[in-house]
Structure formats: structure tokens, C-alpha cells
Amino acid sequence: MTDAVEDLISLLDLEVIEQNLFRGHNPEVTWQRVFGGQVIAQALVAAYRTVPDDRICHSLHAYFIRPGDPHIPILYEVDRARDGRSFTTRRVVAIQHGKQIFNLAASFQIQEDGFEHQIDMPDVAMPEALPTDRERREKIADKLPEAIATHFARPRPIEIRPVNPQDFINPQKAEPFQDVWMRATSPVPDDIRLNQAMLAYASDMTLLDTCSRPHGVSWVSGKLQSASLDHALWFHHPVKMDDWLLYAQDAPSAQGARGFNRGSIYTREGKLVASVAQEGLVRYHDD
């Protein structure tokens, strides 16, 4: 494994403090708040630590309440809401400085057979035909402020290859759709719970950007204030994060300084493995 993937797996290996209470650590970063995908993934891991082995998460719903402080650990407190014959429900509260920063509800189910259907994957270019995210970032690194350039250059556990990329420096108005290939940058163990947590982490990447595309703005300008407000994720099939996944995204609406975004995640063979919905804060400060 590369250091970045090892670091992410380590990040998701929470410390047990007491029954139903876990501690999550943060990576060393220069940003002022914790990445939302990290908190979603760690909260899912905390919930899983209290769930019987025969049950797999099929959905989670979360709210971001306060920005996470990247300089101190995060405490995750799990409420064992219900253990039923087929379903298990958990509620998780993330705490820093004595206050809630995030909460999550997740549902887990035993394996069952039933009806199956799905909508088709979009017809897009395969990842091998696209430039890597690193190649795209290196081309513009000398045009960026030092802090952003350093952030761009850091090793990443998830590789991103946009099918229809937007220019970071001079974004143009575009339709509220984007397709992004993504995968872990090195092999990941065959552990469905770990792969789900890593997918939860990755599902918060790029999605909120979709609602800004029609307005021709980019966070690189420093004028765009954005933050996830809530996040919902449904797991349809097991996923392997070191295989390419297509994240097909759209943003049906933006209003009231909020943008609503949706995503469908497919294997390269076209199987729909997860669905995502998120609303985020989107403010533009033109001054």
C-alpha cells in the first residue's frame, strides 16, 4: 500500500475508550476544519463496532452541525437504538470541545434476497482514456497560492479522474452534471466494512462542486464559501475501493445559499453499488 492509503486505513481504526465510546484522530493538515468525508467514515466505523457481524450497513443519514477542529481528536458516542431480527439501528454523535459537531443515523441488515433492478450507468469515457488528477493539478500548480499548491501536491488515498473537468483557474458556466472516476491509490483489504467506510469518505469528494458548475465559480478563487450540511448514502451492493468506480453526479437545485446534489456510484462494469444525496452551504463573496 502507499502511505496515503495506509494512513486512511489507520485513520479509520478508531481507539476504544469505553463501551459505545470511541476516539478518532485527524491527519496533519493545514486546513481550518476537518474533511466531512472523514467524519462520516469514522462515525460509520464507530457504529459498526457495536453491530453483530452478520449485518451490513444499507443506509446512513448525517448532519454536519459545527466545523470539526483538525487539531484535536473527535469523540464518537454510539447509541444502540435497536437490535431487531433483521435490522439494527445505530445513532452516532461526534463531539469536540464538549459540543456536538456531527450526528449520524445508520441502519444495518442481514443478507436477504429480493427484487432487483437498476438504472443504467451513463455512457462515458473509461478512466484509462483520461488524464490523472495529479497530471491536471501539476499543470496549474505554479498559478496557485502556495497553500493551495501544497494541498494539491500532497499524496492522496483516493485518485480522481473527472470525465468533464472544470478549469480550476478560469471556470466556465456548465450544466449541473459531472462524472468522476475514483479508486483507492493502492490495494485495499477484502473487508466489506472497511470498503464501505472508505466509500463513505470518498462520497463527500467532488459532490458539492456540482451545484457550483452552472455559476462558473471555483473554490480556488477564495470567494466561494462552501460546506456540507447533510449527507445521505445508500449501499446497494458490496464495493471494492481499489477498483475504478464512476461517480455520476447532478445538482437539480440551488437556492437560499444552499445547493442540492445527488450521486450514483457504479462499478466499471455498470453495476450500481451506491447512491448519495447531499445539501451544502454555497455562498459567493464577490468583494
Q: Which residue has the cell 475504478?
A: 244
On whether residue 138 sits in a domain, the answer given is yes
Residue 148 has a pLDDT of 65
On whether residue 18 sits in a domain, the answer given is yes
Under DSSP, the state recorded for 252 is E
278: three-class secondary structure by DSSP: strand
Examine the pLDDT at 210 and tell me if it is beyond 60.
Answer: yes
Distance CA 202, CA 74 (A): 19
* Per-residue pLDDT tens over the stretch 58-105: 999 999 999 999 999 999 999 999 999 999 999 999 999 999 999 999
CA angle 178, 182, 184 (to 5 degrees): 160
On whether residue 118 sits in a domain, the answer given is no
pLDDT classification of 145: cutoffs 50, 70, 90 = low
Q: Partners of 245 in the beta sheet?
A: 182, 267
CA end-to-end span of the chain, whole Å? 45
pLDDT classification of 217: cutoffs 50, 70, 90 = confident
Examine the pLDDT at 275 and tell me if it is beyond 70.
Answer: yes
On whether residue 121 sits in a domain, the answer given is no
Nearest to 164 by CA among 74, 247, 280: 247
For the segment 93-120, the average pLDDT, to the nearest whole number, is 97
On whether residue 158 sits in a domain, the answer given is yes
* Per-residue pLDDT tens over the stretch 155-193: 889 999 999 988 777 888 999 999 999 999 999 999 999
Nearest to 7 by CA among 32, 27, 33: 27
Which structural domain range is residue 174 located in? 3-112+127-284
Residue 154 has a pLDDT of 75
The amino acid occupying position 80 is R
pLDDT classification of 225: cutoffs 50, 70, 90 = confident
Residue 285 has a pLDDT of 82
On whether residue 73 sits in a domain, the answer given is yes
On whether residue 120 sits in a domain, the answer given is no
Residue positions annotated with a catalytic role = 204, 228, 278
On whether residue 249 sits in a domain, the answer given is yes
pLDDT classification of 218: cutoffs 50, 70, 90 = confident
CATH number at residue 86: 2.40.160.210
For a pLDDT cut of 90, what percent of the chain falls above it? 79
String of DSSP letters for 18-31? ETTEEEE-----SS
Domains contained in the chain, number: 1
Beta strands 158-162 and 177-184, pairing class: antiparallel
Query: For residue 119, which phi and psi values (nearest 5 degrees)?
Result: -85, 155
Q: Using only the alpha carbons of the chain, give its radius of gyration.
A: 19
